[in-house]
Structure 1
Amino acid sequence: MEVKTVWFAQRNRSARAHNPPRFVRERREDGHEANAVQGPALPDESTVHFVLDLAIRIGEVQMSSGAGASDATATIIAVANAYGLPHCEVDVIFTSITVTCHRGVDHPPITSLRVVRSRSLDYTRLALVERLVQDITRGEISVRDAHIELNKITTAPHPYPRWLATLAYAGMAGAIALLIGGDAAMAVFAGVITALVDRVGRLLNKRALPFFFQQVVGGALATTAALALVASNLLPEQTRPTLVVAAAITVLLSGLSVVSTVQDAITGYNVTAAGRTIEVSLMTAGLIAGVVLALNVSVGLGLPPQTLADPLTPSALRLPLQTLAGGAAAGCFALASYATRRAALVAAVAGAAGAGGYSALVLAGVGTIAASAVAATVIGFTGGLISRRLRIPPLVVAVSGMVPLLPGLTTYRALFELAVERTINGLPTLMIAASVALALAAGVVLGEYLAQPVRYGLGRLERRFAGPRMAGPLRPTRRRLD
């Protein structure tokens, strides 16, 4: 059968951006002519494999840094479109990413798969990858140069030494101790205990101990150290171990991907959200098991019983201190997660705004859950407005800013009531802690969503992938025609 190409129909003026299917005129055996679709004009097969590998590796970096599935999906499609692959399907299921490039009816699709194995917080790496994606979507870098740049980013060491991250975690614990009502002595003890927990966790991680057991060890070690210091009479009498342990628990809770879990659930990635939910639940269960184990052992050994610290009474006099402590905690967490200095500064501002707003709302008589949701929404909104202009991923500001508000003290109170006091009151308290965590994550996601129309308006990519964007480009940028 002789095939003769007569014309090409373009469905869109932006042929380079959308690369429409080609319509060709076929001359059949009976002498009549008919239209047939041959698919879009694509690069050669080796180039398609090269582009898919680049896009899927960028998505892997985003997922391993805590970005949501919608962010990774939109970024992969934007990168593929920038290099001439207009028809790609992306499937993200928490532990793997699959990308398929459709090449019309005459050629089989090309599929690439990559497993997301490691999940470590390195916000500098995430920021560098986002800048690379911006260069790609603007047409400022070739696919091979982008591969080389991505290899440099993923193989580069952390920007700060590991001991600095330990000091940052200690500073974060000390700031949280001040935030929830402790004094300077409690802040110092919370920092020392948290540094010890971090170093022990580092050793266990080198030996590939599963993270569940690392959480068990961390919770048990923090509780045991605080109770042992008080029982040995090495601390002042007014020192309350409840606040020290609560600060350490908050640090352990900060590493959980609560924000991305809620983001995936809201944006419709239910399988990924379910996987993240199981991970967060399992890590929290490990922390609970460690704390309860330490409390039960202390009771069995006959250590002096420790009373729970009373909830902090709202006071206008403590509002400036709480604001500063919240900013310090957020900034320290950003440094511990290897964020850039600019990102850490912005995160500190967001944390101060969130902590100050939360304290002011509680002082005005607003409930804990509602105050947490409103403060987190402010964090997401203001962080979303500022971070893009400063070329900082909104995820860094959102996660770091909400860290000071995590319910570490409420969680410890619930576990103490269940393990030591043996009362059923611990279950409602534990549900309150879970509700506060959910309110924080949902508020951050809502704030980022509200900030999008204010920044750029809703572009085509946002309408296609409904929901807030914490990483990656907000909308695809057309590649320049050379």
Structure 2
Amino acid sequence: MASRFGERTRERTRLLLRRTAALPHWLPHNGQHTTETDAPVPVEDSGHGPGPMVPDDARVLQVLDLAIRVGEVLLSSGEGVAETTAIMLRVADSSGLPSCDVDITFTSITISCHRGMVALPVTTMRLVRYRSLDLTRLAEVERLIQQLERGRCDLTEAAAELDRITGARHPYPRWVATAAWAAMAASVALLLGGGWGAASVAFVATASMDRAGRLLNRYGLPIFFQQLVGAFLATGITALVMFTGVLPGTRPSLVVAAALTVLLSGLSVVGAARDGIDGFFLTAAGRAAEIAMFSAALLAGVVLALKGAVHFNVELAVAGPLPISSGSALLQVFAAGMTAGCFALAGYSPVRHLPAAAATGAAGWAIHQLMQQLGLGPVVSTGIAAVVLGSGAGLLRRFTGVPALVISLAGITPLLPGLTAYQGFYQLAVTGVTDGLVTVMLALAIGGALAGGVSLGEWVTSRLLLPRDDRVGAAALGSLGK
């Protein structure tokens, strides 16, 4: 009887020790507060010696905080959910937390660390409250992650460096970004065959539009209304130039199309398609809703300005078919490269990445025009060019370290359907709803071909060029969204 009672006592003691060891390190153990923060928590294993060593809460929270802040920078810069998830898991794995899960929606990031049956899981969440395109910040974050994985810095140093990156000012003054957006619009006007007069008006209109948007942003005006005001200003300034006759012979539709291309470049079309293809449907739906909302703002701004122009007998008619000649082909390719390079500059890309962005944009436009000459149509031609752009972005990232987002976002800007979108808006406002809807649907199809083509090209290069182990990991990651 005494031995049975003693055996029960020993069994209860083991159970109490096991439960006590599984508690977080900061909870009182037998009335005393522990102060250990760096050492893992040992767990008793039923009398067979110590169990697995698991990281304590302080270490876990430090790693999760670094990973979720990295994910916030990537997601706010327009990076896809699959890539953001993969990088966050890389940060956690290289810091000693291989068993983590990441869940990302359009506006929030959640990461959880599992510690099996020996300790409680730790979960943290952060809301992404801003969208800021800073390609230099994106490149520096990727460089920081590589240093962390190679063991060149510890968690404390990585967190301090991330603070410096996120707290640093943009690498260029704000007026440089304004000039880059204006130069991008002028390049698009030349690309569409508008001549130097149209390019000059597009430069002035886009610069005014950007400064007005900057002012409205200071007062916290929602982006929907900023897009509306931008489209209204671009169309209204063009109508004013036509009304005063300052630049006779200027093709107004090309000026408006150039300004709309600048506004369309800020929409995350590629990100929405990539998230949908990768199986992250909730985030893809959020991005698609954002694109639809901002496109509606562009439509409202253009239609309001067109109605006002008609009231003053100013007709901003849609241009006819654009002339394509062998003499202008070289100028078009140059203008396409300038468009892509100016977008990268406006997005605060590092100077060393600008030539790659410009070359990719020029090559994409050349391929698009070649496909058009073969009679493949605008949607198919755009899709083929986008696949080549996506493949080029993957190759450049693999062999030169240029972030794929820099190349893909900049490379597609010459192919954005600014002119087609304006034609649809004009038809909706002036000629007829039926024709306008057909043309707007064509613009949406071109945007979808761009996004899908870039995603397909990046997927092909990532699967063909990654080592076999990384390919297996990427395939496993792709199943997370399904």
- TM-score between both structures, scaled by the size of structure 1: 0.88
How much does 1:212 deviate? Answer: 0.1
How much does 1:147 deviate? Answer: 0.3
2:327 is paired with a residue whose SS is: coil
Does 1:349 pair with 2:359?
Answer: yes
Does 1:438 pair with 2:458?
Answer: no
Does 1:26 pair with 2:37?
Answer: no
Question: Which residue of 1 is the match for residue 437 of structure 2?
Answer: 427
CA distance in 2, matches of 1:371, 1:351: 15
Question: Which residue of 2 is the match for residue 123 of structure 1?
Answer: 135
One-letter amino acid of the structure 2 residue matched with residue 369 of structure 1 = V
One-letter amino acid of the structure 2 residue matched with residue 222 of structure 1 = A
One-letter amino acid of the structure 1 residue matched with residue 73 of structure 2 = V
Counterpart selection for 1:272 from 265, 276, 283: 283
Question: Which residue of 1 is the match for residue 164 of structure 2?
Answer: 152
Counterpart selection for 2:145 from 115, 129, 133: 133
Counterpart selection for 2:104 from 92, 103, 107: 92
Counterpart selection for 1:107 from 96, 109, 119: 119
1:424 is paired with a residue whose SS is: helix
Question: Which residue of 1 is the match for residue 345 of structure 2?
Answer: 335
One-letter amino acid of the structure 1 residue matched with residue 267 of structure 2 = L
Counterpart selection for 1:206 from 195, 200, 218: 218
How much does 1:296 deviate? Answer: 1.1
Question: Which residue of 2 is the match for residue 288 of structure 1?
Answer: 299
List per-residue Cα deviations over 1:123-170 (Å, max 9, x = no partner): 000000001111112222100000000000000000000000011011
> Structure 1 residues 311 and 23, CA, compared in 2 at 3 Å: closer, same or farther?
farther
Question: Which residue of 2 is the match for residue 15 of structure 1?
Answer: none
CA distance in 2, matches of 1:243, 1:25: 75
One-letter amino acid of the structure 1 residue matched with residue 300 of structure 2 = A
1:26 is paired with a residue whose SS is: coil
Structure 2: stretches of 5+ with no match in the other structure: 1-10, 18-41
CA distance in 1, matches of 2:450, 2:324: 20
How much does 1:25 deviate? Answer: 5.2
Does 1:366 pair with 2:376?
Answer: yes
How much does 1:75 deviate? Answer: 1.0
Question: Which residue of 2 is the match for residue 19 of structure 1?
Answer: none
List per-residue Cα deviations over 1:309-329 (Å, max 9, x = no partner): 112244333221111111000
List per-residue Cα deviations over 1:260-281 (Å, max 9, x = no partner): 1111101111111111111111
CA distance in 1, matches of 2:104, 2:236: 41
- Name whichever structure is richer in helix by fraction: 2
List per-residue Cα deviations over 1:191-224 (Å, max 9, x = no partner): 1110010000000011110000000000011001
Does 1:46 pair with 2:66?
Answer: no
> Structure 1 residues 312 and 457, CA, compared in 2 at 3 Å: closer, same or farther?
farther
Does 1:250 pair with 2:298?
Answer: no
Question: Which residue of 2 is the match for residue 304 of structure 1?
Answer: 314
Counterpart selection for 1:417 from 427, 444, 450: 427
Question: Which residue of 1 is the match for residue 23 of structure 2?
Answer: none
Larger Rg: 2
Higher RCO (CA 8 Å, separation ≥ 6 residues):
1
CA distance in 1, matches of 2:350, 2:231: 29
Task: Give me the CA root mean square deviation.
Answer: 2.0
Q: Is this contact kept in 1: 2:201–2:255, CA < 8 A?
A: yes
CA distance in 2, matches of 1:306, 1:282: 25
How much does 1:62 deviate? Answer: 0.2
Q: Is this contact kept in 1: 2:89–2:100, CA < 8 A?
A: yes
CA distance in 2, matches of 1:449, 1:41: 38
Q: Percent identity?
A: 46
CA distance in 2, matches of 1:106, 1:462: 29
> Structure 1 residues 371 and 23, CA, compared in 2 at 3 Å: closer, same or farther?
farther
How much does 1:45 deviate? Answer: 1.3
Counterpart selection for 2:394 from 368, 384, 387: 384
How much does 1:430 deviate? Answer: 0.5
CA distance in 1, matches of 2:153, 2:220: 38
Q: Is this contact kept in 1: 2:270–2:454, CA < 8 A?
A: yes
Aligned length: 442
List per-residue Cα deviations over 1:421-442 (Å, max 9, x = no partner): 2342111100000000010011
How much does 1:24 deviate? Answer: 7.5
Question: Which residue of 1 is the match for residue 4 of structure 2?
Answer: none
CA distance in 2, matches of 1:53, 1:348: 36
One-letter amino acid of the structure 1 residue matched with residue 312 of structure 2 = G
Does 1:224 pair with 2:272?
Answer: no
Question: Which residue of 2 is the match for residue 235 of structure 1?
Answer: 247
